[in-house]
Structure 1
Amino acid sequence: MTTARAQLHDIGGRRAWVIWVVAVTVYMLAVFHRSSLGVAGLIALDRFSITGTELAFFTVLQLVVYAGMQVPVGVLLDRYGSRALLISGLVMMTLAQLAFAFTTSFGAAVVARALVGAGDAMVFVSVLRLVSAWFLVRQGSMLAQVTGLVGQMGAIIAAAPLSLVLHEFGWTKAFAGVSMIGVPLLVATACLVKDSPYERSEVVRVKVRALANSVRLVWGNPGTRLGMWSHFTSQFSMTVFALLWGYPFLVAGQGLTSREAGVLLTVMTAWVMVSGVVLGRLVSVVPFYRSWIVVGIVLAIATTWSVVLLWPGPAPMWLLVVLVCVTGSGGPASMVGFDLARSFTPAESLGRANGLVNIGGFVASLATMAAIGVILDLLEPRGADFYTLADFRVALCAQYAFWALGVVQILRYRRSAVAHLERLHPGAVEAMKRGEPFVHPGFNDREGV
């Protein structure tokens, strides 16, 4: 049973906001490190004497490591708390970026980027746990969205500003300099971040022999799976577009200049920030309809892509603007997955639940990236220089398979999740229909289904 704890700080008070500001700044730095290679690609080709395929391997590797770390990170988060994982992630990213700054070996650079991905994997779910611990449930939906959009500022900073620093000071000084940003943040995290507003932390000391069973219990809950499939279905299109195939599609397929393509990617990022605030407010007002909102956004994304891919010839600029905005809405929609999981998971297991949810979108992104690449290679064996709009039209249709699978699974687990709440937590569904948030009281032996 959960013992009473003396409350030392107000929920949603000044201390909570200080902790959130520090934590979200760490997340912004993580996104910056994750995106930093994007503007250094051409320089990296010369520095490491590699091909374009080997350069793309950096991005894929980071996502693989990030996704693969989510379950272990979730277990560690529930065991040791957010503060410990934020510190560990900062140390790992700082040392990895510093090594990346000085190495000229492709192999060593690959290891460094893998460590960046591992450190990055510890950050986001740690911040979400702090939001759940320090703020009211009604505040949580909005703050989760704001956390995501503030984090995207790291991608913006990794674009033009880092590009200028690279060209002004060179590879080693630029990457060594940005790696040092982690040092003051490390001090701030150690001094200011606290896992819980209560006297004793809510960290659960899970015994090693019980870990597999605890993860199985969390995964067996239909709410966790609903959150994971919501994340899977809504996030991947934006990630694939922003990180890999969007730029080639716009330039080689749609005939835009590099500058025009860059502006559209910036518009996408800006739209993610705006739509995130709106969606955060919406899901907090109508919690019972959160998964339907996700399905609606996914259908809007698929419909917009259909119009663009069926358009005779290159799409007009206004339609491409609509495309990047609607596709960008998938980012905030994917955050709803964490909010869904929180309704079915007590605080002491939230790290594992968030880790499992976070796997969804990145697995879908990797699979979609690979599928598009394979189709393009089959259609045009001569390489990227010869890709045409017709090739992209066929290859990008791979997205529909993942959208269809995801929507079917969301609808499936929505029914299971509602039935689960009605059976084990009478009154929870009615409360959410009235716009009231449901706070999970804790697992019992029937929670895992």
Structure 2
Amino acid sequence: MDKQNSRFRWVVFASVLVTYLLMASQRTAPGLITDQVMREFHVTASTIGLLTSIQFFVYTGLQIPMGILADRYGPNFFLIVGAILTGLGTIIYSLGTHEFVLFFSRILTGIGDATIWVNMVLILGQWFKVKEFVRLIGFAGMAGSLGFLLATVPFTAWIGLLGWRAAFFSTGLLLCLSGILLYFVLIKKPKQLNEPAAVKNEIRREKTLPLLRRIFSNRQAWALFFCHFGIVGAYVGFIGSWAVPYAMDVYGMTRSDASQLIMIGMIGALMSAPLTSWLSSRLGTIKRPYVVVHIGILLCWATFLLFNGRPPFFMLIILFFIIGFGYGASALTFAVVRQSFPIIDSGVISGFANTGGFLSAVLLPSIFGIVLDHFQLGRGTIGDGYYHGFITPVIFSMIGLVGVIFIKEKSQGTEKSR
């Protein structure tokens, strides 16, 4: 069986993307019940910020090791195990009776979640031709945005119907079943078709320390790291922890209305992933549209400061949409990786770039929670807390803009396939 010409590759594509959709939903779904967890477990905003951050901390810390392992041993096994671990972590979260159980569950979920993106990128590289990659990476990004979208109004309704514990338990069970499905799609079926699940790489393996030294001394790798730092973390970190409380505290919205507001950002991300991939392919450049996206995100976060943390409601809708649209374009980071580095390094470079994105997702919820606690302890109003909290995504976005400016790219029209 020729993988890149087989119709079965679309079964692989669909299975992997559905799993990514479900796993992505569990990055932000806990943000829907922030106030309930605070009341039920009697914890502070700082603790909630740490609870949100710890999953991203684990995810971030494992990106480079996961890239090395996936490059050396193949992506299939790690993705299957990751889906099951994410499911188990979500189930344990639903059964938690103490805050330490919640922390353990989010650590387990973070370990599982750390497997998805790097391995998915490599799997797409195995099953699809180079010319299809930029377009498909956009659809992969769209699947992640659909996952975030699922964790808004639909998951809010699911929580309202079953209660938060049953809603998370059922989602965890579905993730475990997805891991089992991936085993049949990625390993068992290819073997039946006389195609090994992972092609043994005969290229001489570079030792880990020299490989890391080479990556850490590469200017392009650092540009991608900081580019992804600015575009991912501010959005994911805020949506996953403080967006719902912000809408409820500052605008007096209900939980359902707040989740609808967030859904607007998700729709922007959903539209952006395939659109920006198509546009960059059409223009023959990734960098120019990506710079425009970063500038737009920076201006949006700065607008929150301009209006003292409470822009007019109609403007708030526009801001959430544009910020979400910018996040959807983050798949372009990995199009640059594919363009700039040989295929044997794509796993570790993708992991390094992704580390930047989710490092900021680790930092933002905790910083935001500390700022809110400071102003809630009699030193100001809750509105003051959110206003000063928005300084963090502004700074992060500035770092992202610097990163994307320093990216060097080859013309797509003259790029040779690797």
Q: Taking structure 2 as the reference length, what is the TM-score of the superposition?
A: 0.87
- 2:417 paired with 1:439: yes
- Paired with 2:229 and 2:137, the residues of 1 have a C-alpha distance of 17
Structure 2 counterpart of 1:141, from 134, 137, 144: 134
Structure 2 counterpart of 1:387, from 369, 379, 382: 382
Structure 1 counterpart of 2:333, from 337, 360, 366: 337
Cα RMSD between the aligned structures?
A: 3.1
- Paired with 1:173 and 1:393, the residues of 2 have a C-alpha distance of 35
State the structure with more CA Rg: 1
Where does residue 283 of structure 1 map in the other structure? 280
Q: Give structure 1 stretches of 5+ with no counterpart.
A: 1-7, 419-428, 441-449
- Paired with 1:312 and 1:112, the residues of 2 have a C-alpha distance of 36
Where does residue 228 of structure 1 map in the other structure? 225
| Native 8 Å contact 1:267 1:325 kept in 2 | yes
Structure 2 counterpart of 1:360, from 344, 356, 359: 356
Identity %: 22
How far apart are residue 119 of structure 1 and its match? 0.2
The residue type equivalent to 1:235 in the other structure is V
CA displacement, residues 409-440 of structure 1 (integer Å, 9 cap, x when unaligned): 3333x3xx45xxxxxxxxxx4x53xx354434
Once the two structures are superposed, the pairs formed by residues 382-421 of structure 1 within 5 Å of their partners are 382=378, 386-388=381-383, 390-412=384-406, 414=407, 417=408
- 2:100 paired with 1:100: no
- Paired with 2:156 and 2:256, the residues of 1 have a C-alpha distance of 14
Where does residue 111 of structure 1 map in the other structure? 104
Where does residue 37 of structure 1 map in the other structure? 30
The residue type equivalent to 1:234 in the other structure is I
- 2:263 paired with 1:266: yes
The residue type equivalent to 1:334 in the other structure is S
- Paired with 1:112 and 1:211, the residues of 2 have a C-alpha distance of 30
Where does residue 5 of structure 1 map in the other structure? none
CA 136–219 in structure 1, closer or farther in 2 if over 3 Å, else same: farther
Where does residue 59 of structure 1 map in the other structure? 52
| Native 8 Å contact 1:62 1:114 kept in 2 | yes
| Native 8 Å contact 1:234 1:298 kept in 2 | yes
**Which secondary structure state, in structure 1, belongs to the residue aligned with residue 286 of structure 2?**
helix
Task: State the structure with bigger RCO (CA 8 A, min sep 6), 1 or 2.
Answer: 2
Aligned residues: 414
- Paired with 2:45 and 2:299, the residues of 1 have a C-alpha distance of 32
CA displacement, residues 111-131 of structure 1 (integer Å, 9 cap, x when unaligned): 111001110110121111112
- Paired with 2:197 and 2:373, the residues of 1 have a C-alpha distance of 56
| Native 8 Å contact 1:71 1:356 kept in 2 | yes
- Paired with 1:184 and 1:383, the residues of 2 have a C-alpha distance of 49
- Paired with 1:200 and 1:410, the residues of 2 have a C-alpha distance of 36
- Paired with 2:79 and 2:133, the residues of 1 have a C-alpha distance of 19
| Native 8 Å contact 2:45 2:373 kept in 1 | no
CA displacement, residues 185-221 of structure 1 (integer Å, 9 cap, x when unaligned): 2232111125999768445489999212223333433
- Paired with 1:391 and 1:56, the residues of 2 have a C-alpha distance of 14
- 2:291 paired with 1:295: yes
| Native 8 Å contact 2:34 2:245 kept in 1 | no
- 2:171 paired with 1:193: no
| Native 8 Å contact 1:9 1:15 kept in 2 | no
- Paired with 1:345 and 1:208, the residues of 2 have a C-alpha distance of 16
CA displacement, residues 74-110 of structure 1 (integer Å, 9 cap, x when unaligned): 1111122121111110221222233333332322221
How far apart are residue 233 of structure 1 and its match? 2.1
- Paired with 1:312 and 1:50, the residues of 2 have a C-alpha distance of 28
| Native 8 Å contact 2:186 2:197 kept in 1 | no
Q: Give structure 2 stretches of 5+ with no counterpart.
A: none
Once the two structures are superposed, the pairs formed by residues 75-86 of structure 1 within 5 Å of their partners are 75-86=68-79
- Paired with 2:353 and 2:294, the residues of 1 have a C-alpha distance of 17
- Paired with 1:254 and 1:174, the residues of 2 have a C-alpha distance of 27
| Native 8 Å contact 1:138 1:284 kept in 2 | no
Structure 2 counterpart of 1:320, from 316, 321, 325: 316
Where does residue 212 of structure 2 map in the other structure? 215
- Paired with 2:22 and 2:309, the residues of 1 have a C-alpha distance of 40
Q: Taking structure 1 as the reference length, what is the TM-score of the superposition?
A: 0.82
